């Protein structure tokens, strides 16, 4: 199907539409106007919105099969393409014909992308048109109908039409379809392009004498094989329900049960493992070339989730309500089987961990919390090693975006990592070195970068069920990859994999320097088993043919960088594809709350769970909320919603935890027996782990409350608190009590206590003293009068 990037590719259909609707008596345009392909705008972001008011598309062409997928000396001498033409317009189309065309050999890595968006005038080697509608009853294709087609063209020929291939290389091939929409004339109505890798040419059967030199097979030049390293990612978007603390013995909760299908036979993750098992098996990879050059890159969040699934799990009815109704998950057995197979693979090959949940490292760097950074960059290796029983590579970090900015590079270096695995286009450096030293950071231990091929990564990202475009893809190489069929997208990837290896033959006079290729598909990669097998089979085939040699990840990381350091070139697309700013801000706020509560919890060896394990899932949920998985394709908006929901669930979960520790006030009025009587309150802790709290008091000036210091509350229990108080007023007073962590974070709700004292204060004491003195004075007066024998006037009354 025609891609959206180049405007000239739709021109014929648009002109045909204009001719039919605006001037019904004017015939539709027959061919598009040729334009300079170098000046064509191929950026996706600058395209005008599609006009849906008038359907200007009549036919949709899909490539369904290409044989051979890679041309070699032992291939059939004919290229065969099978596909389908569908009428997607509003009228019948007659005189439908298709043909094959070829463009010149791809000479630069950029042309692996740009050649696919060029107009047909660049595809100047053409085969004959073949009619599809001559045998139809009305010689036309009705609305909604489709037709299969099969085109064959010799690879080379001295006697007739052919693709005209004369040497190995990577060649763009186009299938072009013409037709005559009702009320119009013949026009080119659609096309589909793909890359055809040619590692060698079979015998030319058009030459009568098979021993004649022109007829001989043409093998590739293997004098400069490409040292090849492969990253094989096993990752997925987050699935664990967010906002729930750690537990012991309880079933985990998942937001959905999609992993059950992905881990089962025919699923995506099962297919990635199955393809690698077969390709690196001893009967296929007899010399261990592919196995030694491949490194498993595993998301620890996926391993944690799958491991938890093996013990049984629940699937919540509503992801926004993680504590609500849930049903039993169906993937426990599939999870256990898949995990054992990954363990077996990991035991015999290189393993490295990707950042936790493919989190946005730029967002983690911006939050600048050492504990969160550790969870994102250091803990993943611990998780992978523990769950797989291996010792993984800990010195390299592969960000999901394929790029890092200066602040992120400094954060990676501070975490003890020495190398970032990023795309070639993520740095500004002369040539194509394997490794570079990055400018900035700690000059004593500067961060290095190992570079992988951007064009290959971009082509691989388009393979599978959910095609995407990496953030590091140059903007002039971006087009709507979803418009192509899966077969065409796979062909493009196979061509990209061959390109570097075939440059030895197609670059005369090139210096005899060592060449290399680092292959890094996107971390959340969506091929099925057959597509993954095709990719691995192609790499293995390059090694068997001598076009490539295996290179371990260790060997790649040990390549000395050029003396001149490289400057980072963080693409704007990486910012757009990163975590939403509001999610990042929420993660920073809630991460601080996680730290506050964690510091207050009591680490007791007798407890069933430690504070770190109890709070770790919430901090990990923040990393999951900032994942960049599925943010570069059609699921971008869906990923935004999931990120915001996850952040909201963490906020609500922390609110529940903070609210689980509170002060209980007695009902009614609390009456003190004296001016210095204690207040009796109860502090309750509903958490499954003990906590240290501080008591905060807001009392009037007439009451002095003694600070009782930090208090420890038992797990799921309460404690009576005696709070010494002194009052100097008999009126009723309102006192507010609350609990907080040592950092001052409020726990639970404040309690209001009405206090009254039976003491009457200083005035009552003065009156009592005065009355006592007067009583003594009167008693003394009476005794004095009696002693002198004088009657007391008081006795006379």
CATH, domain 226-453+500-582, list 3.20.20.370, 3.40.50.880, 3.40.50.740, 3.40.50.720? 3.20.20.370
**The pLDDT of residue 51:** 33
Q: Which residue has the higher pLDDT, 505 or 473?
A: 473
Q: What's residue 749's pLDDT?
A: 92
- Are the beta carbons of 220 and 167 closer than 8 angstroms? no
Is the pLDDT at 9 greater than 50? The verdict is no
CA torsion angle for 784, 787, 793, 797 (degrees, to 10)? 120
Q: Are 170 and 197 in contact (CB under 8 A)?
A: yes
**If 0-12 CB within 10 Å is exposed, 13-18 middle and 19+ buried, where does residue 151 land?**
middle
The CATH T-level fold of domain 661-759 is Immunoglobulin-like (2.60.40)
Domain residue extents for the chain: 7-215, 226-453+500-582, 583-657, 661-759
Closest by CA position to 482, among listed 502, 501, 464, 500:
464
Task: Compute CA distances 565 → 168, 436, 515, whole Å.
Answer: 36, 6, 20
| pLDDT top residue among 265 and 24 | 265
Range of lowest pLDDT (19-23, 186-190, 397-401, 560-564):
19-23
Each residue of 66-101: pLDDT tens digit? 999 999 999 999 999 999 999 999 999 999 999 999
Q: Which residues, including other chains, have CB under 8 Å from residue 520's CB and lie 6 or more apart? A: 231, 233, 398, 402, 421, 423, 452, 453, 456, 457
Please tell me what DSSP assigns to residue 108.
Answer: S
Phi-psi region of 279 (alpha: psi -120 to 50; beta: other; left: phi over 0): alpha
Return the pLDDT at 795.
56
Lowest mean pLDDT among 175-179, 205-209, 257-261, 549-553: 205-209
Higher pLDDT, 14 or 755: 755
Q: What is the 3-state secondary structure of 372-426?
A: HHHHHHCHHHHHHHHHHCCCCECCEECCCCCCCCHHHHHHHHHCCCCEEEEEHHH
Band of residue 13 on the pLDDT scale cut at 50, 70, 90 = very low
Asked whether residue 183 carries a pLDDT value surpassing 90, the answer given is no
pLDDT of amino acid 504: 60
Q: CA angle at residue 537 from 531 to 539, to 5 degrees?
A: 110
Is residue 38 predicted with pLDDT exceeding 70?
Answer: no
Write down the pLDDT at residue 615. Answer: 97
pLDDT digits (tens, 9 = 90+) for 339-392: 999 999 999 999 999 999 999 999 999 999 999 999 999 999 999 999 999 999
Query: Which pLDDT band, with edges at 50, 70 and 90, does 431 fall under?
Result: confident
- 32 falls in which pLDDT band (50, 70, 90)? very low
What's the pLDDT tens digit per position in 754-763? 877 665 555 5
Q: What is the pTM of this model?
A: 0.87
pLDDT above 70 covers a percentage of the chain that reads: 85
Of 125-139, 394-408, 613-627, 642-656, where does mean pLDDT reach its minimum?
Answer: 125-139
Mean pLDDT to the nearest integer, 176-199: 93
Give the pLDDT score at 402: 97
- The C-alpha atoms of residue 533 and residue 58 are separated, in whole angstroms, by 35
Give the C-alpha separation, 494 to 510, whole Å: 24
Structure confidence by residue, pLDDT tens digits, 231-285: 999 999 999 999 999 998 899 999 999 999 999 999 999 999 999 999 999 999 9
Contact criterion met (CB below 8 Å) for 181 and 25: no
Q: What is the pLDDT of residue 510?
A: 52
CB-CB contact of 90 with 143 (8 Å)? yes
Q: Is the pLDDT of residue 683 over 90?
A: yes
pLDDT of amino acid 40: 36
Across residues 706-721, what is the average pLDDT?
94
Tell me the residue length of the chain. 797
Parallel, antiparallel, or unpaired: how do β-strands 703-705 and 717-727 relate?
Answer: antiparallel
Query: Measured between alpha carbons, how far is 160 from 158 in angstroms, rounded to an integer?
Result: 6
In this model, does residue 734 exceed pLDDT 90?
no
Does domain 7-215 fall under CATH 3.40.50.620? My reply is no
Domains 7-215 and 661-759 agree in fold: yes
At residue 443, the pLDDT reads 52
Residue 564 CA to chain centroid, in angstroms? 32
Predicted pLDDT at 259: 98
Q: Average pLDDT in the 422-444 region?
A: 86
pLDDT of residue 25: 30
**pLDDT of residue 484 exceeding 60:** yes
The answer to whether 732 and 702 have CB atoms below 8 angstroms apart is no
Residue 673 is predicted with a pLDDT of 57
Q: If you average pLDDT over every residue of the chain, what do you get?
A: 88
pLDDT at res. 512 = 59
């Amino acid at each position: 199907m025609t891609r959206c990037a180049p405007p000239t590719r739709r021109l014929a259909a648009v002109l045909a539409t204009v001719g039919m609707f605006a001037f019904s008596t004017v015939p539709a345009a027959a061919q598009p106007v040729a334009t300079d392909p170098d000046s064509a705008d191929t950026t996706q972001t600058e395209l005008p919105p599609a006009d849906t008011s008038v359907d200007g598309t009549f036919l949709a062409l899909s490539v369904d099969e290409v044989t051979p997928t890679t041309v070699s000396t032992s291939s059939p001498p004919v290229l065969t393409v099978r596909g389908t033409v569908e009428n997607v317009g509003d009228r019948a189309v007659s005189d439908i014909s298709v043909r094959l065309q070829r463009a010149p050999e791809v000479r630069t890595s950029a042309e692996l992308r740009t050649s696919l968006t060029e107009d047909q005038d660049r595809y100047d080697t053409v085969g004959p048109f073949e009619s599809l509608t001559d045998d139809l009853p009305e010689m036309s294709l009705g609305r909604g109908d489709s037709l299969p087609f099969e085109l064959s063209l010799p690879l080379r020929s001295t006697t007739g039409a052919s693709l005209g291939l004369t040497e190995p290389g990577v060649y763009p091939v186009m299938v072009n379809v013409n037709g005559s929409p009702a009320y119009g004339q013949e026009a080119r109505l659609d096309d589909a392009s793909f890359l055809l890798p040619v590692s060698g040419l079979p015998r030319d059967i058009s030459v009568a004498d098979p021993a004649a030199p022109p007829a001989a097979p043409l093998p590739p030049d293997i004098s400069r094989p490409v040292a090849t390293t492969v990253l094989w990612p096993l990752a997925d978007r987050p699935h664990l329900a967010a906002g729930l603390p750690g537990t012991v013995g309880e079933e985990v909760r998942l937001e959905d049960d999609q992993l059950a299908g992905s881990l089962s036979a025919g699923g995506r993750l099962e297919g990635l493992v199955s393809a690698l098992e077969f390709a690196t098996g001893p009967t296929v990879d007899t010399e261990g070339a592919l196995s030694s050059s491949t490194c498993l890159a595993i998301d620890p969040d996926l391993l944690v989730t799958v491991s938890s699934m093996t013990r049984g799990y629940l699937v919540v009815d509503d992801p926004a309500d993680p504590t609500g109704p849930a049903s039993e998950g169906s993937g426990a057995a599939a999870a256990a089987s898949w995990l054992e197979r990954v363990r077996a693979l990991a035991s015999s090959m290189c393993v490295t961990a990707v950042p936790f949940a493919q989190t946005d490292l730029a967002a983690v760097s911006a939050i600048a919390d050492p504990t969160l950074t550790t969870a994102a960059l250091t803990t993943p290796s611990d998780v992978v090693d523990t769950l797989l029983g291996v010792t993984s590579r800990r010195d390299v970090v592969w960000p999901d975006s394929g790029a890092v900015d200066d602040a992120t590079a400094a954060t990676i270096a501070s975490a003890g990592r020495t190398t970032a695995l990023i795309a070639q286009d993520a740095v500004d450096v002369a040539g194509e070195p394997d490794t570079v030293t990055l400018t900035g950071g700690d000059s004593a231990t500067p961060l290095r970068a190992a570079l992988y091929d951007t064009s290959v990564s971009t082509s691989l990202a388009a393979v599978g069920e959910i095609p995407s475009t990496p953030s590091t893809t140059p903007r002039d190489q971006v087009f709507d990859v979803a418009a192509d069929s899966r077969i065409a997208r796979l062909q493009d990837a196979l061509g990209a994999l061959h390109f570097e290896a075939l440059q030895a033959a197609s670059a005369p006079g090139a210096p005899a320097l060592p060449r290399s290729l680092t292959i890094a598909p996107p971390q959340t990669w969506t091929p099925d088993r057959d597509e993954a097998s095709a990719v691995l089979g192609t790499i293995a085939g390059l090694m068997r043919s001598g076009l490539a040699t295996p290179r371990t990840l260790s060997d790649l990381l040990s390549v000395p960088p050029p003396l001149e350091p490289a400057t980072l070139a963080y693409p704007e697309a990486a910012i757009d594809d990163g975590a939403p700013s509001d999610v990042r801000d929420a993660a920073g706020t809630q991460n601080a709350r996680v730290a506050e509560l964690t510091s207050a919890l009591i680490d007791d060896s007798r407890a069933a769970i430690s504070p770190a394990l109890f709070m770790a899932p919430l901090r990990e949920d923040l990393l999951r909320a900032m994942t960049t998985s599925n943010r570069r394709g059609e699921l971008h908006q869906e990923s935004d919603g999931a990120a915001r929901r996850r952040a909201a669930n963490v906020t609500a979960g922390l609110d529940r935890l903070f609210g689980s520790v509170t002060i209980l006030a007695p009902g009614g009025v609390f009456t003190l027996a004296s001016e210095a009587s204690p207040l009796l309150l109860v502090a309750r802790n509903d958490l499954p782990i003990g906590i240290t709290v501080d008591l905060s008091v807001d009392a009037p000036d007439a009451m002095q409350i003694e600070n009782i210091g930090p208090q420890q509350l038992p797990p799921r229990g309460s404690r009576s608190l005696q709070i010494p108080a002194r009052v100097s007023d008999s009126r009723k007073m309102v006192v507010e009590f609350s609990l907080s962590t040592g950092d001052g974070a409020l726990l639970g709700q404040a309690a209001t206590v009405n206090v009254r004292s039976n003491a009457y204060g200083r005035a009552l004491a003065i009156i009592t003293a005065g009355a006592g003195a007067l009583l003594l004075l009167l008693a003394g007066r009476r005794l004095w009068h009696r002693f002198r024998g004088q009657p007391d006037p008081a006795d006379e009354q």
